[in-house]
Amino acid sequence: MIKLMKLEIAKMGLGWYVKAAIIANVAIVTLMFMIGYFEGVEVKNEIANIGELYIIAGAMVRSTFIVMAAVLISKLIIDEYKKKTILVMFMYPVSRKKLFASKLAIVAILTFVAIIISHIFTLSMLIGINHFFHIIEEAPVPLDYAAQLASIVSFAFAAAGASLVPLYFGMRKHSVPATILSSLLIVILTSSSNPVFSLATIIYIPLALAVFGVAIAWSTVRHIENRDVL
């Protein structure tokens, strides 16, 4: 399984994913700085404390990488079906189930790791920037780093599972747009946030979607031998 994952990654190449992740992180930090700084100049600042900074940064990071997971599913699976290159792959002397499971494992693991690293990076950068520009109205209080890390890992785990849900919509007609659009719906369900009510703080929604996503992945792998390739 690990060898298959290495072969898939070597075939796909991770350079584009790493570049996209770096650009996304820089864009998130820049956007949050601009929101915090300019709203603080003109009106009441939406990012009033370190807790809101953490919530908004986490929601933006998870949203970004859930959509990128859909791009990975499209690249690793949907495109293979559309271009019929999956036929060549299924001729390998390896179980179809293992081949397909390795692709899904790459999507879930990359999403999980990328969310954790990006969340820690963006939060660290924004806290550092706040020392110079004071985008947070309230005086920052020391964070409970262990609790924050546990929360980041929990939400990343749930988001990685939920990121598999677009597989169901993409596989129905081997459609890349359906895969991407369904990921946007997941983002709306899991990462919407405003000062009055925030779905981004409720972990039960992404956890429920994660269970659904894992069930979809398991069912797809289980029936892959009987699925029509053409």
| 59 within 8 A of 46, measured Cβ to Cβ | no
pLDDT of residue 161: 92
Residue 198 forms beta bridges with which residues?
A: 193
pLDDT of residue 221: 87
pLDDT of residue 158: 92
pLDDT tens digits, residue range 33-57? 887 766 655 555 556 667 777 888 8
Q: Which two tokens stand for residue 138?
A: 């309230």
Of 32-41, 81-90, 153-162, 179-188, least confident by mean pLDDT is 32-41
Q: How far is CA 21 from CA 67, 126, 179, 187, in A?
A: 11, 17, 19, 17
Q: State the number of CA atoms in the 13 A half-sphere of 15 facing the CB.
A: 3
Residue 82 forms beta bridges with which residues?
A: none
Q: How confident is the model at residue 11 (pLDDT cuts 50, 70, 90)?
A: confident
| pTM (two decimals) | 0.86
Cβ neighbours around 194 below 10 Å, total: 10
pLDDT of residue 113: 95
